[in-house]
Amino acid sequence: MIKLTRIDDRLVHGQVSFTWVPSLDINCLLVANDKIAADEFQKMAFNLAKPPTVKLLIHNINQAAAFLNDPKSSNARILVLVNNVADAFRLAQDVKEITSVNFGGIRMKPGARLISKAVALDENDIAIIRQMLEKGVELELRQVPGDRKQAVESLF
């Protein structure tokens, strides 16, 4: 069962491991990213950053969608982590269970503008966000579980 799908360009880090994981009673972190799935160094680093009792899976987007759609994964309590809006959209298109996406952190990049203290979006991100909203996906911004949800579309 997917407990949360989160966009956070840092992926696995302290805020995820020490606030989101216990708050949602997560037992499986799924990093979904084509580039990172092929990077052994990144995989090793993320494995060190996760809580010891939590399973870490790192898959490309297609493998992640297949895993999430597999009935065998329904017993896991999964936090899905992607590092960009486009990957979240790809997963939401392929995985019906993804009905909400949390925006945690997207750093500044050329052509982007801050919509909150931790999220910067460019025009391509905003176009993809509009597509997700048209498909009925809830898009909310929260750094940590105790924060009040903010609708992403209200911020731009």
- 95 falls within a domain: yes
Kindly state whether residue 152 falls inside one of the protein's structural domains. Answer: no
How confident is the model at residue 156, as a pLDDT?
81
Coil, strand or helix: which one is 108? coil
The whole-number pLDDT of residue 142 equals 96
**Closest alpha carbon to 135 in 84, 78, 95:** 95
Beta bridge partners of 30: 57, 80
Question: What percentage of the chain has pLDDT greater than the value 90?
Answer: 99
- In tens, the pLDDT along 92-107 reads 999 999 999 999 999 9
- Asked, for residue 156, whether it belongs to a domain, the answer is no
Ramachandran category for residue 66: left, alpha or beta (phi over 0 → left; psi -120 to 50 → alpha): alpha
pLDDT tens string 19-35: 999 999 999 999 999 99
Decide if 57 is inside a domain: yes
Can you tell me the mean pLDDT for 44-71?
A: 97
- Provide, rounded to the nearest whole percent, the portion of the chain with pLDDT above 70: 100
Residues of the domain holding 88: 2-147
Q: Which stretches does DSSP call E strand in the chain?
A: 2-8, 28-32, 55-59, 78-82, 100-105, 113-114, 120-121, 138-141, 150-151
Average pLDDT score over the chain: 97
Helices 61-69, 85-94: crossing angle, 10 deg rounding: 40
- Helices 85-94, 123-134: axis angle to 10 degrees equals 20
Question: Can you give the pTM of this predicted structure?
Answer: 0.96
Burial class (CB in 10 A: 0-12, 13-18, 19+), 70: exposed
Residue 153 domain-assigned (yes or no):
no
**Residue 60 is assigned to a structural domain of this protein:** yes
CATH number of the domain residue 128 falls in: 3.40.35.10
Cβ contact 153:129 at 8 Å: yes
Number of domains in the chain: 1
The answer to whether position 71 is within a domain reads: yes
User: Residue 134: which pLDDT band, with cuts at 50, 70 and 90?
Assistant: very high
